[in-house]
Structure formats: C-alpha cells, structure tokens
Structure 1
C-alpha cells in the first residue's frame, strides 16, 4: 500500500485522503455476512470463450440495432448468459424529464422472486432515497413466445433515485466520509447500498431472490439466462433509444449458469463492462480488492474487472491512461521506448497495482457515462 499512497499523492493529497476514507468506510461491510468461497472462484463460475460487441453513435440508436450483431455472435454463447447495456438514454421513453435522467441514479433491480419486492423496498429503498419515478419494465406476455428462450427471466423494476439529504449526512458522519463532497459521498452510498442488497438477496442465500442490475446515471443493464438477443425481445427494448449499446454472449465451457446474476455486463458506478477471456490470477485480483474492502460476490472475472475499474476511476481518480497502465502494464521494449518522465510514472503505478493486474488473455468493452466531466 505504500507505493499506492505515493501514486495517489502526486499533487492530489486531498484526493488521497478521500480515497483512503472511502476504502476504510467499507470496512463495516465485512460484518454483513460471509462472502462466497472466501474469494475463490468456484468451478460453477469459471469462464470459457465468450462474445462481445458494441457501438456508439452521436445520435440515439434503437435497441433493434444491437439485436443483429448479437445474433451474428450467437455461436460465441451457449445460452447460459446473455446481457445488454445501454448508455445515453431517451428521457421521454423512460417517463422522466431530461434533468432527472441526467442527475438521478437509475437503480434497476432484477427480482427473481417477486415476493421479496416489498421487503427489499422497505429496507433498502424507501428509507434512504427520494424516488422520483418507478416502473416495472415491459415484457412479452409469456417468455416462451421468444424462440429459444428456455428459462423465464426475472421481473425488473426501475427506480430513479437520489439519496435523502438527512440520510447522506448521517452516512458521511457514521462512516468517516466528512471530507468528501456531497456528490462523492452520494455515489459511495449508492455503491454500498447495492452491495448490501446483493448480500441480502443474492449472496447470502442458497436461493437467489434478487440483485441489482445497474445503478448508474443515464444508463441501464439487462441480463438473463439465455442469449443477448433474447434480452431485446423479452424486455421489449427494440425501440428503446440510446447513444451506446454493448452486448455479451456467455460461453462458460467449464461451468454452468443457473441464474442471470452471473451474466455480463457488470457495473462499476456509471460504467458497464463486458469481457472475453480468462484470468489466470483471479484469486490474486480478488485478494487485492478485498484488501481495499471490496468484496466480489458473483465470482466471475468480469465482476472483479468492473470493481477494479471503479476503484481506479471513481475512488483513486486516475486518468484513463493510468487506469490502462494499472490494468495492463507496459513491459519490455515498449517500456524501454517510453520517455523518462513517463517511465517514472509507470514504474510507480506498476509497483502499486501489479498484484491487481489481470493475467491471462482478456478483452474489455466498457460503456460509461461521462456527463459529470461535460462529455
């Protein structure tokens, strides 16, 4: 951790203090329950070959246009997990105004067991958030109407939320985040609340009953046990418009998927990440995250990838160049050809993060909302 402090402290001492405070605030989450497999990936969760696709456009494009490329990579999946993410949505289609779409967290929850809706809302939503809009996602009448879809997908409810001011103030005081700006603290509250929902209704139960699909601003994720193209059909999003679409076909050749939680994409905060490949050092990356009080629950390479990206981007505030170097270190001749100043920076990044860098063949597509940065 010494090297990490050094990297974080380059002209951003206050940010280093904030980052350490966020990491320490998550220590209380250890008390919430036992974590699956103590960071070990079970055989049921192991990855194989997968298919990923995506596109971005300066005009909003209908969801039907992610359908065709998903079908084209149908052979890269085996029906055990498919998912889609959309970023840069159409406010009117979602029943809100543009300001709500831009500023509210779009909390989207998959209810495998609809019987837990009231309990979940009463514990994790109503007491903590101002709910500006909520709605169940439209679906086809019967999942068997979708050719090839063999398992009924979960019902999904969408909430546009902001943390209540009194809740946020109490949270900052109780977990030691008084140094953070309210917006930064609100983001961390949303992430920790999502973790607790998943612990209660997904990880700690033998029967998986509900989990958070996404919670970012102006973005959404949907995933099922099936193929990616089934998502667009079952949830009737062929006409939903967005600037960015990504999709994933899962092919876990060495495992099985018995619920949609293990499918991709996975979330950071305002990011959705899909992945093809396999980490040889999954346990090492998981331990790196656990040392920073980040606890993977879904036991997949893709989940730890999204958590790592969120740590480097939102908590450590690294620019994209440094994030890439932390995830994929520059080596050998490529490193030797770097200017001396950049070599020095990269050495410090590698010293801090090499144990958390994924090892093995991997490929990411990340869709993210950068509206906070004026993008």
Structure 2
C-alpha cells in the first residue's frame, strides 16, 4: 500500500526576538524551506521588521512593476503626494524566469499643491495618508502593486519556492528582529508575483495557511470603509481587516482574535453572562469581519508577532519559546531545525491567540519612541 502524505495546504513560519536583537534571514529561510512539500513553486515570501534602521522614520514602500510605463506613472504620482527621501531598485540576484521590477521608496506625506487639498491632508494622520496612497496605486495604476508600506519593515515575495525567492531578494543579507515566511500551495486563487504571501498594509503583514471562505462577505465589509481588494487572493482581506480593527477602531489583538475566530453560537450560550454578552456584541457589531474556513495565520506588526488558528483548528500551528525568542510554524520540525533546547513548545487551542511583543526597551531602541503603535 502506497503512503501519501496529506500536505494540508501551505507552510508558514515566524520568529521574533522580544529584546529586539536583529538576526539575518538565514534561519527563517531554513525553517520554511524544510516545509518545501507544503508548496509547489507558485508562491513564497518573507516579511522582515527592523531592516531599515537608517530610515526608521520613513514609510518604506516596496513596489512591484510590470513595466517601465507603470513605474513612470507611479513615480509621477508619488512626486505629487509624498516627499521621497531616497529610492532605487531593490537588491536582487539574477534569475532566468521572467519577473517584475521591484523598487523601494522611503517617503513621508507632504502637503498638496492647492489650499483645499493642503487643509484636508493636514487633518489626517500620516498612516491614513499612506493607506489612501496604497489603495489608489493598487486600484488605479495598471501594472503597479504596493507590496508593503510600513516603517522599518518590508515584504519580499514572488513566484517560486522559498529558497528561490530568498536567493532572488538576497534575504540572507538583511537583519531583522522579526521574520515571517510563507510557502504557497495555491488552491482557488492564481499563482502570481503579487498574489504570493505575505500580504501587507502599513505595519501589518500576514502569512496564511488555509482558505478564507468568507472572502466575499469580508471584502464587501471592507469596501464600506474604503478598502480596495485588488490582489486576487483571499488572504488580502486579513491584512486589511487588521488595519481596520486595530488602527482605525483601536481594538487590542486579543479582541481581534475573538472577532476573527469566535466560538460557535452553541458554545456562546453556555458561557457566563459577562462573556456571553461580549461575544454576542462582537458578533453583532463585527460579523462582517469574522473569518470562516480553515486557517492558521502569523501576523507581523510594529513591535510584535501574532498567531491564530480558526475556531475549530482545521490547520496546524506550533509555538515554541527559547529565552527571548518566540517561534511559530506549521510543523514542529521547522522550529526544531533552527532552534535547539527549547524552553517550551505547544500547539495553541482553536481560536486561542498567541501574542509576542517587544519589551519596552527594545521598542524604543528599534523605533526611537516610547509610545507604542501597532502600525
């Protein structure tokens, strides 16, 4: 009898050092590459936090272009909207396959040319300005996609296996205090450079194993708040929902977890009155943000890392700790391959969030501010 392994979808991995110590991308590449059979070469990627210490006050826009026309149109738009401190092609190694162009821009919002526009944009926070900038480019400029837009972080992704994407983007040459990675096995969405994981907006980045079957409902909900889902993959809604719930609605991540993966109604009815009231309120107010379907996600954000399973745990997630380091992955073997003598290793329960945060001292060192912000 032939034994066939159930690959159970994509592979995800994440690492954070809560003391803010930056390490090269070698370990995260090794961890995700060990789970090679969870992908098929149609997508892989990495998110890294703390990689631009010399430009930590600027938004780092990683932009993918299909051609020179898209680049020209985007740069003309950026010159009108933002101050560009520095920009250029992202460091890459030669590959044989056809691929888009990748550029990085370190920017800050600036006042617009007319008085009315200037007054309008002065009233908005910089994060909201960059959010609208990203939505406009992705929706309106053909052949241009902003793949990450946070401060002191960046996303590197494309079509290929993880080791191929890491080699192409020279991931080993970057140092970060937090890394996430993805190995994609596309099911009902196309495998293309912009559709690879992580998906990112401002400081949030998401890698996802599974399928968001509530994509249509989530997309319609997000559109009410000005979000444009243009990248042809269900995971995109998770990144945008995080931005909406945390940045705009100021909800803590433990509450976001209850919105994304709430208990079944039959379970809620058995809770004590206070807990029952909380879940009923969240379901009524944020029903459009609930994620249906099998999923495990690892989220990078400004100052931390967040992991979550769906409410009946249809996709695997393993968590481990060693000193000030926290690891998450689809498989235990991926963690043990890069970290020996672990202090703790376990599988979180369905819908149970795992949140690892930088210490206050590390946050101030990395971001130059004592005031914490998720984005």
Tell me if TM exceeds 0.5.
Answer: yes
C-alpha separation in 2, matches of 1:374 and 1:311: 14
1:129 to 73, 78, 82: 82
Please identify which structure carries the higher helix content. Answer: 1
CA gap of 1:255–1:302, structure 2 versus 1, over 3 A, is closer
CA gap of 1:126–1:255, structure 2 versus 1, over 3 A, is closer
Q: How do residues 14-53 of structure 1 correspond to structure 2 at under 5 angstroms?
A: 49-53=9-13
Give the equivalent residue in structure 2 for 1:299. 232
C-alpha separation in 1, matches of 2:147 and 2:227: 18
Give the equivalent residue in structure 2 for 1:119. 73
1:250 aligned onto 2:184: yes
RMSD: 2.4
C-alpha separation in 2, matches of 1:113 and 1:328: 40
1:138 to 85, 91, 100: 91
1:344 aligned onto 2:277: yes
1:65 to 27, 31, 34: 27
The one-character-per-residue Cα deviations of 1:17-40 (angstroms, maximum 9, x if unpaired) are xxxxxxxxxxxxxxxxxxxxxxxx
CA gap of 1:338–1:196, structure 2 versus 1, over 3 A, is same
The one-character-per-residue Cα deviations of 1:135-159 (angstroms, maximum 9, x if unpaired) are 221211x303xxxxxx333221111
C-alpha separation in 1, matches of 2:115 and 2:296: 40
Give the equivalent residue in structure 2 for 1:211. 145
C-alpha separation in 1, matches of 2:70 and 2:146: 13
CA contact (8 A) 1:129 1:162 kept: yes
CA contact (8 A) 2:112 2:118 kept: no
Please identify which structure carries the higher strand content. Answer: 2
Unaligned runs of 5+ in 1: 1-47, 92-96, 145-150, 203-208
Give the equivalent residue in structure 1 for 2:15. 55
Q: How much has 1:300 moved relative to structure 2?
A: 1.6
Give the equivalent residue in structure 2 for 1:315. 248
C-alpha separation in 1, matches of 2:115 and 2:107: 16
Give the equivalent residue in structure 2 for 1:195. 135
CA gap of 1:344–1:265, structure 2 versus 1, over 3 A, is same
1:232 to 166, 175, 195: 166
SS of equivalent to 2:141: helix
Number of matched residues?
299
Give the equivalent residue in structure 2 for 1:162. 108
SS of equivalent to 2:154: strand
C-alpha separation in 2, matches of 1:118 and 1:226: 27
CA gap of 1:339–1:368, structure 2 versus 1, over 3 A, is same
CA gap of 1:122–1:90, structure 2 versus 1, over 3 A, is closer
SS of equivalent to 1:143: coil
Q: How much has 1:87 moved relative to structure 2?
A: 0.9
CA gap of 1:166–1:116, structure 2 versus 1, over 3 A, is closer
CA gap of 1:291–1:115, structure 2 versus 1, over 3 A, is closer
CA gap of 1:186–1:90, structure 2 versus 1, over 3 A, is closer
C-alpha separation in 2, matches of 1:195 and 1:79: 28
